[in-house]
Structure formats: C-alpha cells, structure tokens
Structure 1
Amino acid sequence: MFLGKNMQKSELRKKQTAKLKEFANTKEKKTEDSILLEKLLETELVKNSQTIGITASLPFEVDTSELTARLWDAGKEVYLAKARNDQAHTLDFLHYTYMSKLQKSSFGVEEIADADAAVKNELDLVIVPGLAFALDSHVRLGFGGGYYDRFLAKHKCQTVSLVNTPMQFATSEWPIEKTDMPIQTIVTTDKIY
C-alpha cells in the first residue's frame, strides 16, 4: 500500500495508529514482540550499555515491560522517559527500579510519579518508540510532539528502535523535516538495520 510521498504526517499517524491497534489484537504481535526482545538483548548495543532509556509502551506498541525486567536482571540501570510539562515539549529520563511508583500521563503513558527521582539524560542507549520507520533512511514517524527529536538533537546517545511488521516502510512515505532525527539501529523480526 503506497500512501504517497506528500501524505501529511497527521494523516499517516491516524492510519498507523488504527493499523497498530488492529495488529495488537493478533497472536502475531505477541510473537513478534518476543522475537524483537530476544534480538535486542543479544546485540552488542545492549551488552555494552549500562544506562538505558526506555518508554513504557502503549498496548499497540512493542511491549517493553518484559524488556525492562530483563534489563534489570542483567544489572543494567533503566531510565524511564517522562515528558516535561513545559511549552518546549522536552523529555527527561528518570531512574526506574521495581520500587518506582508510576502514574499515567495525559497521553496515557506510564511515567515515574516521584518528583525526586534521579534524572539522567546522558545515557548509553535510548530505545526510541514510533509509529512508522523507514528502513532505508532510518527516519521515524513519532506521535507528533517532537519530544524524542528534541532530546536526540541535544543528547548524543546511541539509539535503537524495535519495529513490528506494520511499522516497517521500505522508504519514508511521509515528509522528512530537518528536525527529524534518524534512529541508528532498527531491529525487525527479519534483521537488524
């Protein structure tokens, strides 16, 4: 299905969200999530990283709950993304342990509730979420707030994304802006780009 290079990002976001919500109700999603988790954990990226940033996943995204537990088991420090309540649409990563109390943000994403949780934005690795990923250029279509693009422009850390089949595009079918930050490594069920 070719959507046309001029498709507006907002239109594609709606289509991708609907497609991913439909996919979330399939056995394939659970299988793919499991494959992606194992592939990521076997990478040198994870093995060589001590501080790892992650986002608590929405039900239609690749499930990060088991990944978080496995990172803790491996002795990694995990930091959970939290959107700042500011006009600049910025993001911080807060230290996340099994003792951390979580609350849902206005976007529906679980974030750390403790205002005193340690912030660490200079991380070894950040696992970046998204709705669509171009396998050739590594650009992503996010949720539209620009939080991750701003964070990645400011903080030089390694990036990786876990990409289910419906999130994969051979090439970008959406307009790419100069503020869009490409992801360094894309993990799919077939291969690592």
Structure 2
Amino acid sequence: MIDKKKLREKYLAKRSSLTAGQVKKASDKIAAKFLDIVDRIAAERIMLYYSFRNEVITHDIIDKLLVQNKEVFLPYTVVAEKELQISRINDIKEDLIEGVYGVMEPRKKENQSIKDLDIVVVPGMVFTKKGYRLGYGGGYYDRFLSRLSEITRTIGFVFDSFLLNELTLEEHDLPVEMIITEKNIIDFRGDDY
C-alpha cells in the first residue's frame, strides 16, 4: 500500500490539474443530489465546509440552504486543542473570515453544540468505496466525527475519479455514512436514493 503522504501529494496534484469548468460541472451535480437528500430527510441543521483549492464547491449549496432558512454551520479550527468547533452563519459574505490554513471560517467563534446536527458534510482528498477518507493530515475531522450524535448523517463529497477501493486505515479513522459523487450516491446505511 502506498503511504498516505505520497497519496495525498498525488491526489492534490491531480485535483489542482482540474479545470474550473470541470470542478463546477461536477460540483453542480453533487449539489443537486445533496439538496434532494436534504429535502427527503427534512434536514434543518446542516454543517458544511467552505470549499477551496478545487474541492467540491459548497458555496452555492450554502447560499441555497440559507435562502431556505436552514440552520447552516461551518467549522473553525482550534489549533491549541487540535479540534474543530462550529458556528452558525446567516450570510456567506458577511459572516466569514480567513482562518487557519487559509480556509474561510465563521467570524464569530461560538462553539455551538454539534449533538443535534442533522447532516455533517465532510471534505476529503479521496474517499474509499466503504466511506473512509484521506484528508489533509491534521486529524481534525476524525476527532470531530467521533463526537457526533448517532442520529447525525455524515456525508462525504468527492469527485468520482477520486474514489478508491481501499486506503491504509488507522485506528482513529472513521467512515462517513454516505458518499456523493457527480455520478453516484453510495449510502452505507442502505437508504434508497
């Protein structure tokens, strides 16, 4: 098995080579599938990440959820504690500032409860077909996922060509319950979408 550092470098380079058009087209398809799921399960409290560096684009999703009066939360990094916390946002332009690692995060650091989130959308460099992910290497999301309620749906967004058969797993690695690509929805809970 290839080590995680080399795999991360390989797929970061691959993702960087995608054109803006490719990223937008795939992201729009993923967004449509995701918003349909939000409607189907009547989700009200949703945590997303604010995309950057050719990740699956989430900005349009955030805007649409805010227009629908959903409660939208974004994470922020607390480096000293090596953890993610969340704050609710109401306006994508007014409520965000550049945070740790250049990622946009909530201006107000409110550390709101994560126990009653309906959905958490998880970014990843790559995902496996079993829901495991390779992130940027800080372990922040793995620790965050371990703190969630059992009722919270965890969903990974990834481009279809970044879906792998397997990864070298570590004890702390936790899978998401669903993966959405531009081509498919893989639901490990067995719900019909």
Unmatched runs of 5 consecutive residues or more in structure 1: 1-5
CA contact (8 A) 2:87 2:108 kept: no
2:12 to 13, 17, 41: 17
**2:65 equivalent in structure 1:** 71
The residue identity in structure 1 corresponding to 2:128 is A
Pairwise mapping of residues 152-171 of structure 1 onto structure 2 (< 5 A)?
152-156=145-149, 157-169=152-164, 171=165
Q: TM-score, normalised by structure 2?
A: 0.87
CA distance in 1: counterparts of 2:173 and 2:39, whole angstroms: 22
How does the TM-score come out when normalised to structure 1?
Answer: 0.87
Give 1:91's aligned residue.
Answer: 84
Q: Do the aligned partners of 2:77 and 2:100 also contact (CA within 8 Å) in 1? A: no
Matching residue of 1:53: 47
Q: Is the 8 A contact 1:103 1:112 kept in 2?
A: yes
Q: 2:134 maps to what in 1?
A: 141
**Matches of 2:179 and 2:48, distance apart in 1:** 15
SS at match of 1:68: helix
**Structure 2 CA distance for partners of 1:26 and 1:104, relative to 1, 3 Å:** closer
CA RMSD of aligned residues (A): 1.7
- 2:98 is aligned, of 97, 104, 116, to 104
Alignment partners' CA distance in 2, 1:148 and 1:45: 25
Measure the CA separation in 1 of the matches of 2:177 and 2:79: 28
Alpha-carbon separation, structure 1, partners of 2:176 and 2:50: 18
Look up the match of 2:23. Answer: 29
Secondary structure at the aligned position of 1:82 is classed as strand
The percentage of aligned residue pairs carrying the same residue is 28
Counterpart of 1:184, as a letter, is: E
Shift of 1:118: 5.8
CA–CA separation in structure 1 for the residues paired with 2:45 and 2:137:
26
- Greater RCO structure (CA 8 Å; 6+ sep): 1
Give the AA of the match of 2:87. Answer: L
**CA contact under 8 A between 2:160 and 2:183: conserved in structure 1?**
no
Partner of 1:3: none
Deviation at residue 165 of structure 1 after TM alignment: 2.4
Q: Which blocks of at least 5 consecutive residues in structure 2 are unaligned?
A: 187-193
Corresponding residue number in structure 2 for 1:185 = 178
Structure 1: distance between partners of 2:69 and 2:99: 28
Q: Report the number of matched residues.
A: 182
Whether the aligned pair in 2 keeps the contact of 1:40 and 1:46 (CA below 8 Å) is no
8 Å contact from structure 2 (residues 65, 72) kept in 1: yes
* Cα offsets for 1:94-150 (capped at 9, x unmatched): 1111174322123110011224x4623221110000000111x11111111111110
For 2:22 and 2:128, the matched residues in 1 are separated by 21
Supply the AA of the counterpart residue of 1:22: S
